[in-house]
Amino acid sequence: MTKITIIDGQGGRIGKTVIEQIRTRQIDAALYAIGTNTTATAAMLKAGADFGATGENAALVNVNDADFVIGPVGIVFANALLGEITPAVATAVGAGKAFKILIPVNRCNHYIAGCAENSLGEYIRIAVDRLESML
């Protein structure tokens, strides 16, 4: 079965919305919710993730064998997401074999050139569209 690892921090809103859209579309995959804190993990589990874990080690273990990793673009930048992403997590995500679907969020002191000025909801829809087209 396809393993999709969703990583999010703060309140887990992005990951929660991604999981809700995947479930609505009935995409057949195992969803692993990895929160940088317990609030984010709980929000993603409530949205319908199959498994959930919190913290750096959970991220390191679950990106290692994932087929897809989805999250805000900050998951590939150490100390992004208001400092919730560690250098080890950023390295593991960036170096992992999984296909990364990154959701642009123009904050945390970065700008992503070439991105349209879409709403966060639209970016999440586009990310799930891409996932669905690849499966």
Q: How far apart are CA 115 and CA 15, in angstroms?
A: 20
Q: Which domains does the chain have, with CATH numbers?
A: 3-134 (3.40.50)
pLDDT the model gives residue 82 = 66
Per-residue pLDDT of the chain (135 residues; tens, 9 = 90+): 999 999 999 899 999 999 999 999 999 999 999 999 999 999 999 999 999 999 999 999 999 999 999 998 877 776 666 678 888 888 999 999 999 999 987 665 667 777 888 888 999 999 999 999 998
pLDDT the model gives residue 79 = 61
Q: Enter the tokens of residue 107.
A: 């904050």
Confirm whether pTM is higher than 0.85: yes
Q: How far apart are CA 83 and CA 78, in angstroms?
A: 8
Residue that is written with structure tokens 């400092």 in the block:
83
pLDDT the model gives residue 19 = 98
Between the alpha carbon of residue 51 and those of residues 69, 105, 119, the distances in Å are: 14, 25, 28
Q: How far apart are CA 11 and CA 93, in angstroms?
A: 20
Q: Give the contacts of 84 (CB within 8 A, at least 6 positions apart).
A: 9, 10, 36, 37
pLDDT the model gives residue 129 = 95
H helices within 26-83, ranges in order?
Answer: 38-47, 56-64, 80-83
